[in-house]
């Protein structure tokens, strides 16, 4: 009975893998890892504990790899401090908020209605939450109203960044007022971290942010997890690190196989990040324009649709979005109910503009209600040609 259960779990996972290899995955929060990253995830590090203090034995290699990950992260993002321990982007955000804020401190973040991340920390940890004002065009921040808000509420931290992330945020404009009121300017780059790493998006540090945090598995093609990068200020780094080391506040064992996998992905980004990130942005721009040519509604006509990996389809509401998502999934095109489409994973499979134009036609045909089996066949013909992972080192 137990062996049967294990066998069923194995075969279900295999079925998933076989299916997803043939799908066109356009979810903007996901990516593919390289063979070397996968090797790290399956390594003995995944069985071990290690802290930088003396409690556990057997840590001479684990600690060394973490040090290499930290140094690679500092180099890649031009940061002075890096913490690779957070198990997710969400925990990176929690570590920064809990490390820097006292109960009832004011903070300023993006509202979910404007594409913000639905952080719900205040449900358990009392915070005085204020939302960044946006213009009618809901993906453009209103800089002068934001400056007034920051000036009035004098927040402990201001967090820029979003889950619907189509263009740069006004970091340089808001850095000045944050400095004046003593607010720490935090950039949640969960979605765009790989584009920042490749130098193809705004550089939050250059523009005046003090902290850059995010997920390591969306446009950044590493293992699922999080990272926190800090510029200059050792006190900030220390306050945040306190939540991520013993005695544990947020994390105790911090998953050394993931740290090793991240170290490899950081090396891959240092070597191939520029070409990868450039192609991601070209691919999403191409996808948006090709969809519009096929008369699919895309948000952002006035400003070129996208400067990131994301393309946002026009929908009336989530109900319609869910319908579109299901329509696409029937032909093995995977999206979310937003409907956000991301170019990063197909880019990592090696696809370029020609394939993006083809994908736009497949999406448009499916949304018009054309024959599902025929479109699915075309999807499989396309994906069968892109079964390896680009922008990584060869495995020996």
Ligand X SMILES: Cc1ncc(COP(=O)(O)O)c(C=O)c1O
Sites of contact with ligand X (CB under 6 A) = 29, 88-90, 93, 117, 161-163, 188, 190-191, 215, 226
**Could you tell me which of 359, 371, 297, 305 has the C-alpha nearest to residue 333?**
359
Q: Which is nearer to ligand X, 162 or 359 (CB)?
A: 162
CA distances from 316 to 24, 26, 116, 297, 387 (A): 24, 20, 19, 11, 35
- Cβ atoms of 194 and 219 within 8 Å: the answer is yes
Q: Which is nearer to ligand X, 93 or 291 (CB)?
A: 93
Least distance (Å) between residue 387 CB and ligand X:
26
- Cβ atoms of 379 and 333 within 8 Å: the answer is yes
Q: Which is nearer to ligand X, 196 or 367 (CB)?
A: 196
Least distance (Å) between residue 188 CB and ligand X:
5
State how far the Cα of 70 lies from the Cα of 83, in Å rounded to an integer. Answer: 7
Least distance (Å) between residue 161 CB and ligand X:
5
Least distance (Å) between residue 74 CB and ligand X:
21
Q: Which is nearer to ligand X, 31 or 327 (CB)?
A: 31
**Radius of gyration, alpha carbons of the chain:** 21
Q: Which is nearer to ligand X, 134 or 382 (CB)?
A: 134
Q: Which is nearer to ligand X, 190 or 239 (CB)?
A: 190
Q: Which is nearer to ligand X, 98 or 290 (CB)?
A: 98
Q: Which is nearer to ligand X, 101 or 382 (CB)?
A: 101
Q: How many residues does the chain have?
A: 396
For residue 171, the Cα-to-chain-centroid distance in whole angstroms is 18
DSSP 8-state secondary structure symbol assigned to residue 377: H
- Alpha helix stretches (DSSP H) within 101-192: 143-153, 171-181
348 in helix, strand or coil? Answer: helix
Least distance (Å) between residue 189 CB and ligand X:
8
- Cβ atoms of 91 and 251 within 8 Å: the answer is yes
107 in helix, strand or coil? Answer: strand
- How many of the other CB atoms lie within 10 Å of CB of 182? 9
The residue whose Cβ lies closest to ligand X is 89
Least distance (Å) between residue 216 CB and ligand X:
8
Least distance (Å) between residue 157 CB and ligand X:
14
Least distance (Å) between residue 14 CB and ligand X:
25
Q: Interior CA angle at 143 toward 142 and 147, to 5°?
A: 120
- How many of the other CB atoms lie within 10 Å of CB of 112? 14
137 in helix, strand or coil? Answer: coil
């Amino acid at each position: 009975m137990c062996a049967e259960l294990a066998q069923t779990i194995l075969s279900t996972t295999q079925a998933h893998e076989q299916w997803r290899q043939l799908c066109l995955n356009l979810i903007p929060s996901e990516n593919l890892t390289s063979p070397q990253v996968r090797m790290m995830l399956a390594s003995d590090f995944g069985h071990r504990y290690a802290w930088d203090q003396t409690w556990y034995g057997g840590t001479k290699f684990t600690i060394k790899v973490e040090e290499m990950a930290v140094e690679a992260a500092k180099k890649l993002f031009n940061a002075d401090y890096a913490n690779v321990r957070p198990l997710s982007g969400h925990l990176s955000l929690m570590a920064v908020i809990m490390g820097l804020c006292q109960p009832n401190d004011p903070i300023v973040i993006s509202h979910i209605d404007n594409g913000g991340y639905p952080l719900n920390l205040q449900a358990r940890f009392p915070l005085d939450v204020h939302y960044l004002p946006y213009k009618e065009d809901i993906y453009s921040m209103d800089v002068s109203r934001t400056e007034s808000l920051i000036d009035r509420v004098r927040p402990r931290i201001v967090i820029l960044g979003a889950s619907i992330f189509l263009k740069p945020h006004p970091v340089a404009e808001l850095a000045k007022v944050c400095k004046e009121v003593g607010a720490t300017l935090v950039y949640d780059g969960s979605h765009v971290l790989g584009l920042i790493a490749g130098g193809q998006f705004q550089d939050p540090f250059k523009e005046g942010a003090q902290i850059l945090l995010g997920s390591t598995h969306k446009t950044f093609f590493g293992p699922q997890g999080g990272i926190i990068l800090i510029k200059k200020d050792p006190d900030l780094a220390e306050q945040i690190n306190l939540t991520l080391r013993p005695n544990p506040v947020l994390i105790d064992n911090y998953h050394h196989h993931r740290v090793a996998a991240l170290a490899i992905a950081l090396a891959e980004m240092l070597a191939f990040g520029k070409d990868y990130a450039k192609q991601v942005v070209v691919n999403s721009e191409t996808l948006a324009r090709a969809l519009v040519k096929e008369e699919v509604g895309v948000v952002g006509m006035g400003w070129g649709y996208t400067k990131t990996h994301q393309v946002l389809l026009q929908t009336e509401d989530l109900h319609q979005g869910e319908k579109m998502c299901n329509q696409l999934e029937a032909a093995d095109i995977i999206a979310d109910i937003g409907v956000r489409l991301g170019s990063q994973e197909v880019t990592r499979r090696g696809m370029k503009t020609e394939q993006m134009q083809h994908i736009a036609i497949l999406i448009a045909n499916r949304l018009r209600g054309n024959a599902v089996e025929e479109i699915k066949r075309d999807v499989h013909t396309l994906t069968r040609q892109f079964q390896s992972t680009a922008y990584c080192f060869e495995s020996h």
